[in-house]
Amino acid sequence: MRRFAKAPQQPVLERCELCNLVLPPVHRHLLDTATRQVACSCDPCALLFQNAVGAKFKLIPRDARSLPDFQMTDGDWESLALPIDLAFFFYSTPSEKMTAMYPSPAGPTESLLPLTSWEALVRQNPVLQNMEFDVEALLLNRAGAAREYFLAPIDKCYELVGTIRVHWRGLSGGDDVWREIENFFAKLRSEAKPPRPERNGA
């Protein structure tokens, strides 16, 4: 996670973790679904896992998508019983369940997700039915006055976790970590694409 949070002025020579090819700064990532570890990949190796079924790795999508019409009340949020106002949700195929995670100074922390609360959220937001298992997450930012929702590649979610781990200071985190969180979401906003068109019958 720390490597995802490194500043641009600290370039790191990265290699494909499958074939050892030197990678450009922007490259694909794969997810080991069993361990939730993210691996860097060159394009040829990444293509081997596109639409692969039952493989060790899954190809992580490139793009985050904004959800400007996402429906969530304060009551909906409270029903999820999360201790902080940043979280991401994805379907874990090894666990066969929706998984709720929130970033903390110790890393990604799993929270017990009430199934009825998630089902109610999906009914209000059918776009969630189209999330890619394991590699795509609903990322929520409700810190302070923010009410932002994205379908985000799972590596972006871990990048946020890494950012918090690197910059957290003291008991409350300090001003620097909140500046970095805002910078993270500002960049995500600028890069995010519109939502996918809903599938027929969704």
Residues in contact with 149: Cβ distance below 8 Å, sequence separation at least 6, in sequence order: 66, 67, 70, 72, 138, 139, 140, 141
CB 82: neighbour CB atoms within 10 A? 20
Q: Would you state the pLDDT for residue 40?
A: 96
Counting residues of the chain whose pLDDT is more than 70, the rounded percentage is: 91
Residue 153 has pLDDT above 60, yes or no: yes
Q: What interhelical angle do 174-191 and 154-167 show, nearest 10? A: 160
pLDDT band of residue 198 (cuts 50, 70, 90) is low
What would the two tokens of residue 90 be? 């994805």
* Contact by Cβ (8 Å): 127, 141: no
pTM above 0.85, yes or no: yes
133, burial (CB in 10 Å: exposed 0-12, middle 13-18, buried 19+): exposed
Listed ranges 7-11, 37-41, 47-51; the one with the highest mean pLDDT: 37-41
Task: Indicate the length of the chain as a whole number.
Answer: 202
| Mean confidence (pLDDT) of the chain | 89
The answer to whether 128 and 121 have CB atoms below 8 angstroms apart is yes
What per-residue confidence (pLDDT) applies to 147? 96
Q: Check whether 183 has a pLDDT greater than 50.
A: yes
Is the dihedral angle over the CA atoms 18, 25, 5, 157 positive or is it negative? Answer: negative
